[in-house]
Amino acid sequence: MITSDNIEKIIESKKKLERILNVKITIEDQNISAEGKPEDEYIAEKVIEAINFGFRPPVALMIKKYDFLFEILNIKDFTRRKDLETIRARIIGKGGKTLRTLSNLTECFFEIKGNEVGIICAPEKIKNVQEAVVSIIQGSKQANVYSFLEKHQVQPIIDLGLKEQKKKGKKTKE
């Protein structure tokens, strides 16, 4: 059961969410619940939480499609400073430039809601992304954070053939 204050986006895309996530979504007042297989319910919960946080539904659905993670960092957990507006401004950057640059360097998606930063990202990149955001919160220069991310680019995972492959339409004759 998820309590949502952004229920409109979920209502608008309810049918699409149900189809893609393989669950039945029930909305009562501000409460949302999903019914289906346990693993589908878990993923649906994460997607709904991401939409509730402020991500657009297509971005939130990347959690299901590409096995991305959804993480929330609370700014207060990483600083003792009282001027949280200044810290949020540092994360966003002038005209959104810092968030855009972080997004381009990491291929992740960011949203800020209150004193929290939401991140949707590939599992292998999440540690570096969290470190980068925490560094900005703690006062590091943006240029130093960008340099860190460039030096610590995660190499793509090599497919060992363990994951089931989707079959293509045509079969070839031998």
Please check the confidence at residue 169 and state whether its pLDDT lies above 80.
Answer: no
User: Each residue of 66-90: pLDDT tens digit?
Assistant: 999 999 999 999 999 999 999 999 9
32 beta partners: 2, 27
**CATH number for the domain whose boundaries are 69-151:** 3.30.1370.10
Q: What does residue 149 show for φ and ψ, rounded to 5 degrees? A: -65, -35
The CATH number fitting domain 2-65, selected from 3.40.50.1970, 3.30.1370.10, 3.40.50.2000, 3.30.9.30: 3.30.1370.10
Extract the runs of DSSP E, i.e. beta strands, from the chain.
2-3, 24-28, 31-35, 69-74, 109-113, 116-121
For range 120-128, the mean pLDDT? 94
Q: Is the pLDDT of residue 168 over 70?
A: no
Query: Tens of pLDDT along 33-59?
Result: 999 999 999 999 999 999 999 999 999
51, exposed or middle or buried, with CB in 10 Å at 0-12, 13-18, 19+? Answer: buried
